[in-house]
Every structure is written in C-alpha cells, then in structure tokens.
Amino acid sequence: MKKLLFLLMVAFACFQVNAAEDFSSKNYIQQWGRLKIQNKQICSESGQPVQLKGWSTFGLQWQVSCYTKAAVETMKLWGANSVRVAMYVNEGGYVSDKPARIAKVKDFIEWTKDLGIYCVVDWHTLTPGESDNPNKTLDDRMGNQGAQYFFKEISSYVKSKGYKHVIYELCNEPNNCSWNDIKNYASQVMPAVQNNDPGALMIIGTPQWCQLIDQAVSSPIDQYKDYLLYSFHFYACSHMNFLPKLQAAAGSIPVVVSEWGAVNFDGDQAETTIDGKKDFQICTSQSDQLLSTCDGNNNGNLKISWWMWNWGDKWEGSSSLRDCGNVTNDNLLASGRYILTKLCGDGTCATPVPSTDGAYGGTPQVIPTPTGEYFEIAYYDLGGEGVAYHDGNGDAENPGFELTTNCNAGYEYGGEEFNFRNGECVDVSGCYGLSGTYTNYNLCNRENDEWMKYTVEVKEPGYYSFEYMSNPSTSGTVSFSLEKPIKTGGTQPLGNCMYTSGTLDEIPYITFDNYDDVEGCAATWECWEWDKPLGAKSPSLLFKEAGTFTITMLFPEDGGDLGPFRFTKAASYSGEGYPEPDAGVGLSDAASADFVIYPNPTTGEINIDLADADEAEVNIINMMGQIVYSSTIESGAKINAGLVKGTYIVTVKTANSVAQQKLIVE
C-alpha cells in the first residue's frame, strides 16, 4: 500500500511538472499596479522589475474577426501579460472611421482590464500609409482630430474609469524624418496623455522605423522623462545588424521592443510545407537572439518588454494564426508556434477558450436598416465554422472561387488582393461599391445546407419586410430560410418568420429571383438591383420586441450571388398573439387584382387570367422553395403542371409588377 502511495505521489509530481502553466487566474494589473520606470526599466508600483510581453494585433480595420474578448483571453491563457493594439492611422484605419476605431480601442481597454493584463494603445503611423513623419498626424494637420485629439480621447476615457493599465504608444514607426522632428512631435502629444492620466507610461518611436534607437540615446527627451520609453523594432530575417543598438541602449535609456517579427521587414517570408500543411519559414535563431537580449543579455542586464507582430490570420509569415474563427493549439502558423514555445512552453500551453460567438466587429447590424446603409451579408457572426456559419468549403468545378489551402475567404477579385475575414471558409467576395472601393460584399458559390448566423439589434418591434441586392448577370434561383429569430439570452422566440403562407413557420424557405439576365453586366454595383423575395409574405418578419436577436439564414441549395440586404419596417406590432399584418401588405389567399387562378384548390389543372397585362412569366414554387413549373403566358392560360398534392406559391411577373398567390393542390 505504501509503495502504491509512493508511486502515485511520483506520478502526481511528474504530472505537475508537465502540466500546462495555468495563467487563467492571474491578474497582473492587481499584482503589479501602476507601472513605472525605475533604473531605466519598467517596474511594478512596488519597484519590482516587470517584463511585459505578448502579441501586437494586426490592423484593427482589416482583421475584425480576430479582435474579440475571447482572443485577448486566449493570449492571456497562452502566457501574454499585455497586448499591443495597433490602430493604423491610415490605410483604412483611424482616418476612415474614427468613431469605430476609437470604440474598438476602448473595447480592448475594457477587455484587458477585465482579464487583468496591460494594454498598449498604438497610434500606428506608417509608410505605406501617409504618416512617415508623425508630425503629419498632429491636430493642426488633421482637422483637429489627429494625435492629440486621439490621445486626449483615450486618456480621458481611462481617467473617467479610474484605470491604470494603459500604456500610450505615441507613434509607431517614424521614418523619413529626424530625431528632432520626432522630439517635436512628442512634446506636443505627451501633454494630451499626461493631463488626463498623469504618470502613465508612454512609448516614443525612434528614427528609421525604430531601428536607430542610438539617436535617442545621444539626445534623450527631458520632458516627462520618468514616464517615457523608447522603442526599437526588429524583424528577425532583416535586422540582425541593428540588434547591437538595442543591446547598447538598454541601461542607458528605458527601452521596449514594441514590435518585432520572426520574419522579413515586410512582414512576410517564403512559404514552405510543414507536417503536410502549407506554412511559412521563420528566422528562429535570430528571433532567439532578440529574445535573449530582452531577457537580460544587454548592457544594463535589464528585462526588456516586447510585443510580437502579429495576432492575426492574414496569409503572411508574420501571422501567428491560421484562422481567427478557429483558434486552437494546433491551428497555428510557424510564427505562432514559435512564440508559444516562449510564452507558455512547448506543448504545455492551455487549450484556448473557444471563440465566443457574437456580432462581427462587436457591433450588431441594426434593423430597420438605416437609410442609405446596407445589411451586409458578409458580416455574419464571429465564432467560426459550426458556430457562426457552415460552409461546404469550395467547389471543385468552380476553381475561381475555390478556397485556398489555408482556407482564405474571398478570392482575387479584379486582380486585386481581397483581404477580408481570411481563414474563414465562407465564399464571400468583394464588390465595388458605388464609390469604387470594396465597400460591400456578396456571397457566392453556395452549396446545399450552408448557413450563416447574424446577431442583430432590432430597434423597434414590428413587421418587417426585406429586400436583397442581386446580381442580374447571375441567373438562377436562390432559396434560403430565415430561421426564427431568437432573442439573445431568451429561450422563447420573441420574433417570428411569416414565410410564404399565413401559417406561422409552415414554410421554411423563401425563394429569390435572379432571373433578369443582363448580358455582360459584371459584378459591379451599377447593375445590381434591389429585389424582393418571391413567394414570401410581405412583410415577412415579425419582431415582437426590440432588442438583440440572432437570425440564421439557411441556404438549402446552390445559387447565384446574393448581396446585402435591407430590412424595412412595414407595420407596427402591438399586443399578443400572431395577428395578420396590416391589410394589403400581406399575401392573401384570395385572388389579388393582378391575376386570378381558378379553381383553387384544384386537383391539378389551373387557369390563370391576367388582369392588366398581355404577357407574364409564371412560376410555381413548392414548399422547399424549388421552382417546379415555369413558363411565359399570354393574357390567360390553362396550365397543367402535373403538381403533386400540397401547397404552392404561384408568382406572376409582368413588365411592371410581381404578384403572388397561394395554390392548393388536393
């Protein structure tokens, strides 16, 4: 017995040695408090040296699905005690949508606070981009909404919340400008931080993309010197000859490596195949030397904080992840695997939290669709395959749309790189918006039983109708179903789909019409058009309450391109039960003014008389949304479509109208 106990104890001890370090319960902010600079290095409030480390995000504007609270939690579980939030100023970043970028930075501040890790807010100036010299981003050059404005906004937010975990990186990589220019910039921006968040640490970039940190050593900045860190950047395959500058600077001025990558300076490296999977080469021994420098092998024998480029899934050597929608210990690229060995040890890293599902970009799309806006079909929820969508993954007969081996969403469109929700297997492509940029998306190449889920914010209860953009150059039919909208957090559906019949939930599919074949009309918005669903009750959705709902669109069969949607409130809803919508807007069982069917119910044959037109296209659609009969008729016609028993929708399309009626075959 004693022997057994002993063996058990040995086994237990071994198990403990090999067990993944549990970072989940750590709260670094509580442990270290307000960070400060002491003896040229970052220290805790009580004066203990602290080495911050973790990932830098990629551009917040590009990889929206990578930046969720679950992602930050995973970084922490994998050993990061901080995250750097790279808010690009140009290239579609801050300048293109200031409120959205500021909101995202604040999200990060909240997520990191909740998780107990530090947050570096990076004003990501850069060339390419228009900000080689950061002075170009000062308020007087940017309509009073430049760097000072941004840092005031963030620091006053931090102050209002009483937070102490935010570090301000005043500019990313100055270049094409002198150290004096950078000093001028710093002197104007530092007060914007310190006036609200006194004592907060700040990071200033150094010349030539943060390679020439020696220039800061020769002439450091005096103002706020107790709170100012100097940054050095390092790309392992390109910058070995600059590393001595970092080693020399450490101990002389307070330094951080606010960005480094295991690849070339362009963020990339040659592709290679590792364990049968496409991957990238990285420069391991050079990266090792950087990290050893940061661990104390430097002039001051100091710990240097670092953030690695990057937490993202663009198909590029510096990306750590293969798929932000599916972050697991096995689904990493070489950069990610490398950094895990440094942060949490080889093979012992905790299993990450599954991505939480939720609205794309953290903000649900709004119903009703605001005037002039679109409900983007490509903004399906976060969470990846099986959670937010199901995609059959490619179509061998349609290689243009085939997903690449790393499962990039989107394909080369118009010869330009289409870089959107990479890593997610949904066949989304970009469409030139009317403005001539990729502002909208469409869904193509659907296969049977694919679906996508959307978290939506319903502003007002009521009956809603919807329209969709279709590409007239694609002919064919698209069918899909809107599942019952379920209110988030609720168990009972608080909304209903009225579908094609008057009976609740009776017919699950709505058929779309993409017939109008316009020859030679490419996928540009100029020739796309708003269409209404065929055979659907209109309005077709009822939301009994305002609030957050999820809607799932199911695609039961292949179909042509579908663009964005538009939800419009058709009638108000008050009270209980399931009343018919306002007279006139719904599909009635009786004949409408546009055409007459008789007999109805029928045992087979029907007659159709057109009211005001000489010619019309007739379609008969079954409960599955499939078109079972289609023809062109003149004024009146006898039709024997050989229909089996059941309920159908007959649609009659004339030059100016589309009308529909229910047909029962007995």
What does the binding site for ligand IDC look like in residue numbers (CB under 6 A)? 91, 126, 128-129, 172-173, 209, 233, 235, 259, 265-267, 309, 314, 316, 318
CB of 304 to ligand IDC, least distance (A): 18
460 part of the active site: no
Which residue, 265 or 629, is less far from ligand IDC as judged by CB? 265
Tell me which of 169, 173, 424, 467 is the catalytic residue: 173
List CB contacts of 265: < 8 A, sequence separation 6 or more: 209, 235, 237, 238, 239
Which residue, 266 or 605, is less far from ligand IDC as judged by CB? 266
List the structure tokens of 544. Answer: 């009994």
Going by C-alpha positions, the residue among 421, 418, 491, 490 that lies closest to residue 452 is 421
Axis crossing angle, helix 98-115 with helix 147-161, rounded to the nearest 10: 40
CB of 210 to ligand IDC, least distance (A): 8
CB of 173 to ligand IDC, least distance (A): 5
CB of 172 to ligand IDC, least distance (A): 5
Kindly report the backbone phi and psi dihedral angles of residue 448, in degrees, each rounded to the nearest multiple of 5, phi listed first: -55, 140
Length of the chain: 666
Which residue, 151 or 309, is less far from ligand IDC as judged by CB? 309
The identity of residue 365, as a single letter, is: Q
Angstrom CA distances, 393 to 272, 279, 378, 467, stand at: 23, 20, 16, 27
Q: What's the start-to-end Cα distance of the chain, in Å?
A: 79
SS3 530: strand
List CB contacts of 103: < 8 A, sequence separation 6 or more: 363
Please give the sequence-ordered ranges of beta strands (E in DSSP) within 106-148, or none if there are none: 118-124
CB of 352 to ligand IDC, least distance (A): 23
Residue nearest to ligand IDC (CB): 267
CB of 235 to ligand IDC, least distance (A): 5
SS3 388: coil
CB of 318 to ligand IDC, least distance (A): 5
Which residue, 44 or 96, is less far from ligand IDC as judged by CB? 96
Tell me which of 259, 376, 424, 467 is the catalytic residue: 259
Which residue, 94 or 309, is less far from ligand IDC as judged by CB? 309
Going by C-alpha positions, the residue among 396, 382, 395 that lies closest to residue 427 is 395
The residues that bridge with 174 in the sheet, in sequence order, are none
**611-641 as b/e, with b when 16 or more CB fall inside 10 Å?**
eebeebbbbbbbbebebebeeebeeeeebeb
Going by C-alpha positions, the residue among 602, 594, 593 that lies closest to residue 638 is 602
Q: What is the 3-state secondary structure (H, E, C) of 36-55?
A: EEECCEEECCCCCECCCEEE
Going by C-alpha positions, the residue among 89, 202, 92, 117 that lies closest to residue 155 is 202
**Omega of the bond leading into 579 within 30 degrees of 0 (cis):** no
Which residue, 64 or 458, is less far from ligand IDC as judged by CB? 64
Which residue, 259 or 513, is less far from ligand IDC as judged by CB? 259
506 part of the active site: no
Which residue, 86 or 343, is less far from ligand IDC as judged by CB? 86
CB of 333 to ligand IDC, least distance (A): 13
CB of 409 to ligand IDC, least distance (A): 16
Which residue, 311 or 360, is less far from ligand IDC as judged by CB? 311
Which residue, 89 or 166, is less far from ligand IDC as judged by CB? 89
List CB contacts of 47: < 8 A, sequence separation 6 or more: 38
- Measure the CA–CA gap between 580 and 587, rounded to whole angstroms: 10
- Measure the CA–CA gap between 456 and 253, rounded to whole angstroms: 50
> With 0-12 CB in 10 A as exposed, 13-18 as middle and 19+ as buried, what is 642?
exposed
CB of 123 to ligand IDC, least distance (A): 11
Would you say 494 and 559 are in contact if contact means Cβ atoms under 8 Å apart?
A: no
Q: Which residues are catalytic?
A: 173, 259
